[in-house]
Chains A and B, each alone.
Chain A
């Protein structure tokens, strides 16, 4: 088991997938580093991170089984 990462909107397009499982990511900053080196275009891309359906603005420890989502700026309506 690892961390489930969901991608949405433009981010899903850049990553060419809507989800993947990542292991050995102990916190949000590490996760961002892993993702940024995998998908270089995301480095300059603005997004929010939600952990288990809640948006956090600061680094946080991740646990196995957490659902992380990378959310580009919302554009509903």
Chain B
């Protein structure tokens, strides 16, 4: 049995919490938020992320402020999902997210993420993941207003995901995730894999399974919170570059591969026939498609 989490009632991860604040988030607000936690003596570690508006210089013009707008209900729902997922994944005592709407001047705070846990590791990891998800998943837009009142729309820098050939140390993590995602775990060798890593952490993988007269793209997985960022797509295209043989694959999500130029085929190599059966038993008889390129 896992330890029962001691979550204070007001912070239970269920109801939608107020996230948006009009204008900048003040140092007093942040100080108060910290002070409020002194009564929660089961907390051993807080991790705080503060996003501050930069006075970027672009073509001799300096950013004076950012004006934030959002798709309100969807944004709140997305913040809620991020929260719920973090509570599910990490042993957190409580979590607060605040984001500005409207104008925030350069040097002022526009994002405040406050994560508390018993021990530091959960707080550190969760906080970073929450911030990345806020940037990629929440419908908020920043308009950078220059000192001369002209403007441009802010763009967020992408996740710095690195793609590389797998090393032996990755294999345990790949095995664990492949089992979790119910992927093909037959003959796993790190040499066949390409991995996607974010700050050294493995967040995606995929491999070429070598058969006599063709290669098979197999065991493609991306950690849930990083999906829909094109990571799976990148892994597949890198795998495609690593072979000159004909490629086959078995999948329950043909659309994903069709977008990458694969097409359905009825010519099924015998090596894939057993795989279709395994797929059926693992994936609750979802329909399996064979694609080629």
Taking beta carbons and an 8 Å cutoff, which residues of A are in contact with B?
Answer: 6, 8-10, 50, 53, 58, 69, 71-77
Contacts and interface: CB of A to CB of B under 8 A. Distances in A.
Contacts of A58: 255
Given A8-B71, A58-B255, A77 B131 contact: yes
B71 A10 contact: no
A44 B248 CA distance: 34
A53 B139 CA distance: 10
Given A9-B69, A58-B255, A69-B74, A74 B139 contact: yes
Interface string B59-77: 0000000001111011101
Given A74-B141, A75-B140, A75-B142, A53 B156 contact: no
B73 A74 contact: no
Contacts of A76: 68, 70, 75, 99, 111, 134-135, 138-142, 156
A71 B77 CA distance: 16
B77 A10 contact: no
29 contacts: A8-B69, A8-B71, A8-B139, A8-B141, A9-B69, A9-B141, A10-B141, A50-B71, A50-B74, A50-B139, A53-B74, A69-B74, A71-B71, A72-B153, A73-B155, A74-B136, A74-B137, A75-B140, A75-B141, A75-B153, A76-B70, A76-B111, A76-B140, A76-B142, A76-B156, A77-B99, A77-B135, A77-B140, A77-B156
Contacts of B190: none
Contacts of A69: 71, 74, 139
B135 A74 contact: yes
A53 B74 CA distance: 6
Q: How extensive is the interface on chain B, given as a class?
A: 20 to 34
B17 interface: no
Contacts of A8: 69, 71, 139, 141
Given A72-B153, A77-B99, 10 more contacts: A9-B153, A10-B153, A69-B71, A74-B138, A74-B139, A75-B154, A75-B155, A76-B99, A77-B110, A77-B131
Nearest to A71: B139
Contacts of B70: 76
Given A6-B71, A9-B69, A69-B71, A75 B156 contact: yes
